[in-house]
Amino acid sequence: MTETLSLRVDFNRADDNDIVWAYCDRASNPGAVVEGAALRLYDYEGNECLGYVIRVDEDVAYVRAEWSTWRDAEPIRSEELTGDDLAVALARAVAWHVYSPRRQETNAIVAS
């Protein structure tokens, strides 16, 4: 049985063609993320679906999400959250923005 590769994505950034992007460390895992490969996509909230790699540029994979395989995350009750949970969520959100491959495009728009 082969293990399905998993990549973390932001489903909210899917384009009109259902394409999402994700970082993939090809240096430490060469050949794992190639065009046509099936992947498990997931987000910070725990949602997930399958997807197929359509293009790889350097360490960024562009993947077409298969929405028919979508699984919602279990809901989190706010009273179950701790300060540590909120700090981790904030740190992840900041890291996602800072290391976005589209960051330069965003900065150019903001600066103009």
Instruction: Convert the pLDDT of each residue in 84-106 to its tens digit.
Output: 666 766 666 665 555 555 444 44
Do 53 and 63 contact (CB within 8 A), yes or no? yes
Distance CA 9, CA 97 (A): 12
Residues 55, 78: contact at Cβ < 8 Å? no
pLDDT tens track for 72-84: 987 666 666 666 6
Both tokens assigned to 44: 């910070």
Label residue 59 by pLDDT band (50, 70, 90): confident
